[in-house]
Amino acid sequence: MGRVCSLFHSLLFVSSLLFASETLVSSRTLEKRPPLVPGLSWNYYFPLECPTLEWIIRNNLEKAFKKNSGLAPGILRLFFHDCFANGCDASILLDAPDGKDEKSHPANVGIRQEALLAIEELRRVIYKRCLPVVSCSDILVVAAREAVRQMGGPDFDVPLGRKDSLTFDLDGPNNLPPPFFRTQQLLEVFGKRDFDATDVVALSGAHTYGRAHCSSLVNRTIESDPPIDPDFKNKLVATCPTPQSSNTVNLDARTPTTFDNMYYINLLNRQGVFTSDQDLASHPQTKEIVNLFASNRKEFFDSFADAFVKVSQIDVITSRQGKGEIRDRCFVANKKSSVEAVAEELVELAEAI
């Protein structure tokens, strides 16, 4: 009888974990969600491969964010710089022996080491619970969603099923829009990937927390177009007297560690840190969207969630698309056995014939 009770309680515990995982869904589950690329799914790891994946990531990051609130914007930036540069394939995580990898690109200055380590730590914990069935790219996507949700932002579902890249692309970060871009340039860059003006304004709202290095905002200290509040400009100059200054500036001085819509209110007050931010409040295609998001947090949250999901599907590698893998460690590609190498060569030869 005791053994039966023990088995019952074990099954009950497992069922509770499955229920917790299944109920980690957003309030928008029943509403229209962005379409998915082939190979991705809203419940890819459920119910067999890793049903508690999102619970594991959520639980571990809750502890990490309490210790270091700056980790959240660091992870969100890592996600965007991975996806928009070369597709959501975790290529930004790969280390090169000579240090010449995607992280060394000038566009990735300031990528937080603790954010990189957090993704690898999540992989280690997940592999203990689920074995190596979850890609580093999927872990990064879920972690980035948590970096938004746990700091006050929207909760929403993310599709999963990505594979990790086998290598990195040193030129990939050239696709990242720099902070001195004007709005028209942003619209053109994002437009090439089917993002509209609402997406651009919503994604820019990620600058509602985090920090900026002086080298990325120097033009705001010497230019008056787009407009800048004089007192705000004086504070920037005091913090960043030269582009080489090692100081940093909060992207949102009012609520620097909270994901909210204060960013847009700052823009209306001419207190955007980057040129690419402030110009949104003046451009004819984006200024009304800025006004809407400043006055309606739900509109911002819903638009951000949709745009995030669109970013998370840029040039993904899935079991149906391209060659990828589930890395044993996020920082290095897996070593292939001689059998695997020969098999790949035969497949490539057959395709060529």
Q: Minimal CA–CA distance to 140: which of 166, 122, 161?
A: 122
Largest Cα separation within the chain, whole Å, is 79
pLDDT-based confidence at residue 281 (cuts at 50, 70, 90): very high
pLDDT-based confidence at residue 31 (cuts at 50, 70, 90): low
The pTM (predicted TM-score) of the whole model is 0.88
Question: What's the rounded Cα separation, in Å, for the pair 65 and 278?
Answer: 29
Binding residues for heme b: 207
Residue intervals in the chain for CATH 1.10.520.10? 39-176+323-352
Q: Is 76 helix (H, G, I), strand (E, B) or coil?
A: helix
Binding residues: 82, 87, 89, 91, 102, 177, 207-208, 252, 255, 260
Question: What's the rounded Cα separation, in Å, for the pair 151 and 260?
Answer: 9
Residues 6+ apart with CB under 8 A from 201: 280, 286, 289, 290, 293, 303
Question: What's the rounded Cα separation, in Å, for the pair 326 and 293?
Answer: 38
The whole-number pLDDT of residue 346 equals 54
Q: Around Cβ 232, how many Cβ atoms within 10 Å?
A: 17
Percent of the chain whose pLDDT exceeds 70: 86
Binding residues for substrate: 177
Q: Residue with structure tokens 């001419």?
A: 270
Note the pLDDT tens digit of each residue in 183-231.
999 999 999 999 999 999 999 999 999 999 999 999 999 999 999 999 9
Residue 29 confidence (pLDDT) above 80? no
* CATH number assigned to the domain with residue range 177-311, chosen from the 4 options 3.50.50.60, 1.10.420.10, 3.40.50.10260, 3.40.50.300: 1.10.420.10
Q: Is 213 helix (H, G, I), strand (E, B) or coil?
A: strand
Architecture of domain 39-176+323-352: Orthogonal Bundle (1.10)
Residue 69 confidence (pLDDT) above 50? yes
Residue 11 confidence (pLDDT) above 90? no
Name the β-bridge partners of 250: 211
Note the pLDDT tens digit of each residue in 248-267.
999 999 999 999 999 999 99
**Catalytic center residues:** 81
Residue 20 confidence (pLDDT) above 50? no
Residue 303 confidence (pLDDT) above 50? yes
Residue intervals in the chain for CATH 1.10.420.10? 177-311
Per-residue pLDDT averaged across 172-187, rounded? 97
pLDDT-based confidence at residue 152 (cuts at 50, 70, 90): very high
Per-residue pLDDT averaged across 143-152, rounded? 98
Per-residue pLDDT averaged across 66-79, rounded? 97
